Structures are given as structure tokens and as C-alpha cells.
Amino acid sequence: MEENKTLLNEVAAEGYDAADRPFDFVGEGSATALVCEPDPAVREKIVGALRGLNYQVTEPATAKEAIKYMRFHVYDVVVLDELFDTENPAANDVLMYLESLATTTRRRIFVVLVSGQYRTLDNMAAFNRSVNLVLNLKNIDETGKIVKQGVSDNAAFYHVFRETLQKIGKA
């Protein structure tokens, strides 16, 4: 936990650098995704699936880079390998950063945890890890279908909530 605070403090202390912004321009209605996956073959499949769903994709190399990107942009989807830039899944800096976000901001982000230990669509594991969906590595070829359905289900679930926020001027 202390390492996470150090990394977050380090990123926060660096100040603003325009190079840290993940996109120069995102068109209205465009969806964005952050893919935090260390394995190039798996990352290629995930990125290909997300681009097939018309997401603009950012691929950070480290947890520090991912957190920098998230400081300047609220992604629609974050696909995060539980071992991204760490050997201990319980000490994943990106996941800890996402957990620290304000609830209203976090609810705008659909987080997919790529795991070798949890089953795909394991709701209890997703709840336990504070993510929206778990994707097992065995099902990586089905990423597009699984993410599309998960995002759709999530949008339907939070529809009334988001509509109410808009009506009261908090969205």
C-alpha cells in the first residue's frame, strides 16, 4: 500500500505535461479504452477486439504511465491484467488507483480484470476486486463479445442512475 501511495504521490508531484495526455482529440461520442497488459500477444488480441468495437485505445507500458494517462482522461473502458507491472495481484497500482477514485468518476469507467486465476464473468471475484467484469486468459479470443455485452449490461444497470444525475445537473 505504501508503494502505491509513493507512486501516486510521485505522479501527482510531477505536475502537468502535455505529453502525458493520452489523446490530442477525442470526437464527440467516441469511446476510449486503456489496455494495461504486459503480454504482447494477449495485448494485441485485446486491442484488436476493442478497435473492432470502435474504441480509441491507449497502451501504457507501465503502471506509472497508465496513472498519468488516467489523470487527464476518464476512459470508458479499462482492461487491466492483474499482473500488470507487478508480481503481486493484490498490489496492482493501477487497480488501487481506480479504487481511490471518487465514486461518481469510477462509475463512468468500465473495468475489466484479465486474470489467470478467476473464471470469466465471475461476479463474486469482480465484486471482491472492485471491477466490473473478470476475463480469464482462456477466453481472451472472445474479448470483443464479452466486453460488448458487459458494457451493454452495465449501461442498462446504471441508466436510471445516470439519467437522474443529468436531471439534477450533476452529470
pLDDT attached to residue 14: 64
Rounded to the nearest 5°, which phi and psi values hold at 39? -85, 115
Per residue in 80-138, pLDDT (tens digit) is: 999 999 999 999 999 999 999 998 889 899 999 999 999 999 999 999 999 999 999 99
pLDDT one-digit tens code per residue, 130-168 = 999 999 999 999 999 999 999 999 999 888 877 887 888
Residue 107 contacts residue 89 (beta carbons within 8 Å): no
User: What's the pLDDT at 143?
Assistant: 97
- Predicted pLDDT at 162: 79
Percent of the chain residues topping a pLDDT of 70: 82
Which three cell numbers mark 51? 478497435
Domain ranges of the chain: 2-167
The DSSP letter of residue 132 is S
Burial of 166 (0-12, 13-18, 19+ CB in 10 A): exposed
Q: What is the pLDDT of residues 37-75, one digit of tens each?
A: 999 999 999 999 999 999 999 999 999 999 999 988 899
**Quick check: helix, strand or coil at residue 68?**
helix
**Percentage of residues in the chain with pLDDT exceeding 90?**
68
pLDDT at residue number 149 = 97
Which grid cell is 66? 497508465
The reply to whether the predicted model has a pTM over 0.75 is yes
| Residue 158: per-residue pLDDT | 82
Contact between 97 and 69 under an 8 Å Cβ cutoff? The reply is no
Q: Determine the longest span between alpha carbons in the chain, in angstroms.
A: 45
What average pLDDT does the chain have? 88
Average pLDDT over residues 33-37: 97
Nearest to 99 by CA among 131, 62, 66, 135: 131
Burial of 148 (0-12, 13-18, 19+ CB in 10 A): middle
Report the topology of domain 2-167.
Rossmann fold (3.40.50)
Cell of 15: 505536475
